[in-house]
Amino acid sequence: MIFHTRKIYWLQRWAALFLTGILSGLGGMLLAMLMHEIQHLAYGYSQHRLISPQTFLKGVTDASAQRRFIVLMAAGVIAGVGWWLLARYGRKRVTIAAAVASPDKPMPLLTTLIHIILQIVTVALGSPLGREVAPREAGALFAGRIARRLRLSPEDCRLMIACGAGAGLAAVYNVPLAGAIFTLEVLLVSVSWDAAIAALATSALAAWVASLGLGDEHQYHFTAEFAAGSLVYWALLSGPLIGVCAWLFRRMTQSARNRVRTDWQMPVFSLLAFTLLAVCAMWFPQLPGNGKGAAQLSLDGSLTAALAATLLVLKVVIICAVIRGGAAGGLLTPGLAVGGLLGTLLYLVAGGFFPGGDVESFALLGATSFLAASTHMPVTAIALVMESTRMDHSFLVPVALAVAGAYATCRGLESRHRL
């Protein structure tokens, strides 16, 4: 009898893992499709192809300056009014971290779904925040409800919610390994055989399901074929410097988030933030969106020093302004963009002292190490960039050294200077 009961529970657990992976993949795929459809309609490009080879950056650049301004102002109204109404009339939101910590307190269905849709709509219209939180929340929402429906133990519910969030990340960016590592490193903050198998299974399933609708393309095109030997020395020198920049970025974004108010200030400050973005986007079409375009320009090595510096300053200011306005979203792709721009600038200043180095490699190290330090997920950052760019394995050593230096510096500064 005991054996029979254990066998049934084992089957229920695997059923939960399977459903979590499948539904997280479907959720990530549908949210990505919704985002593409809104982008195409808003900026008037690729209207007859949902999955198009034309990039968002190209679509925004080809749109008129007036159209960019109108679309981004609309994004400000939707963000400010939408999240203000959600805060006023919706149930209290439960974050992914809170759901993992207390699996007996479920994420409210309608409030979470509205929060997810608001993120996708505003990012599609040009919000500078990342889209990855929405599919992570969708995956965690599905996983929690599945686990409770199958009457899994609280510990297994916690595992499923974390796996659902990681699977959502894997689905939307086609990064199954990074999704699994994110589950273990960031959400569970532990590693065990059970957790590792569950995380790998759900993330792989989700990435595969999403690829059926979105294709199997990687996110970024990285042209450098191999890492020069001098890149190791640059990694050792640049890591701590980028760590300081990541620490400052974290302080700025956390300070902006702490100042958010859910009263009349939210729609007002949101509109002001998006007005700033709309005005700047009339001259700099690289600014709207989560930063993928700016990150790709860095990895292409196609930016001048003046443009890279301008985009870097404006990107950071606008990200903080939009967060202060109350908009929600991730900082993963924005972190890659800021780090890539920073790496580009550092190459243009010091690249001549490192023979064989190139701007693409410096941008890669800057993007990865800045992301790792600013999000406190070093191993996930390495895996995510590796899968997103399909970089040559010769870059792993300098990337790992830069990440270690940046992360250690950022953590050290945070331990000394509490916000």
| Domain limits for position 73 | 2-214
Question: In the listed set 214, 240, 275, which residue is the last one of a domain according to the structure?
Answer: 214
User: Within this chain, do residues 203 and 88 fall inside the same structural domain, yes or no?
Assistant: yes
User: Within this chain, do residues 64 and 196 fall inside the same structural domain, yes or no?
Assistant: yes
| CB-CB contact of 380 with 332 (8 Å) | no
CA–CA distances in Å: residue 198 to residues 17, 145, 162, 399: 7, 17, 10, 28
User: Within this chain, do residues 274 and 172 fall inside the same structural domain, yes or no?
Assistant: no
Write the DSSP assignment of 133-152 as a string of letters.
Answer: HHHHHHHHHHHHHHHHHTT-
User: Within this chain, do residues 167 and 240 fall inside the same structural domain, yes or no?
Assistant: no
**Per-position pLDDT tens, the chain of length 419:** 555 577 788 889 999 999 999 999 999 999 999 999 999 999 999 878 777 778 899 999 999 999 999 999 999 999 999 999 999 999 999 999 999 999 988 999 999 999 999 999 999 999 999 999 999 999 999 999 999 999 999 999 999 999 999 999 999 999 999 999 999 999 999 999 999 999 999 999 999 999 999 988 888 988 887 777 889 999 999 999 999 999 999 999 999 999 999 888 999 999 999 999 999 999 999 999 999 999 999 999 889 999 999 999 999 999 999 999 999 999 999 999 999 999 999 999 888 888 888 899 999 999 999 999 999 999 999 999 999 999 989 999 999 999 999 999 999 999 887 76
Residue with the two structure tokens 């108010």? 261
Closest by CA position to 242, among listed 335, 307, 330: 335
377 three-class SS = coil
User: Within this chain, do residues 87 and 140 fall inside the same structural domain, yes or no?
Assistant: yes
Closest by CA position to 107, among listed 160, 67, 144: 144
User: Within this chain, do residues 43 and 152 fall inside the same structural domain, yes or no?
Assistant: yes
User: Within this chain, do residues 289 and 200 fall inside the same structural domain, yes or no?
Assistant: no
User: Within this chain, do residues 198 and 311 fall inside the same structural domain, yes or no?
Assistant: no
Domain presence at residue 223 = no
Domain presence at residue 405 = yes
Domain presence at residue 134 = yes
In eight-state DSSP terms, residue 290 is: S
**CATH for 191:** 1.10.3080.10
Question: In the listed set 151, 180, 214, which residue is the last one of a domain according to the structure?
Answer: 214
Question: In the listed set 186, 214, 242, which residue is the last one of a domain according to the structure?
Answer: 214
User: Within this chain, do residues 173 and 121 fall inside the same structural domain, yes or no?
Assistant: yes
Rounded CA separation 172/98 (Å)? 22
Angle, in degrees to the nearest 10, between helices 305-324 and 230-258 = 30
Instruction: Give the pair of three-digit tokens for residue 150.
Output: 């199958």
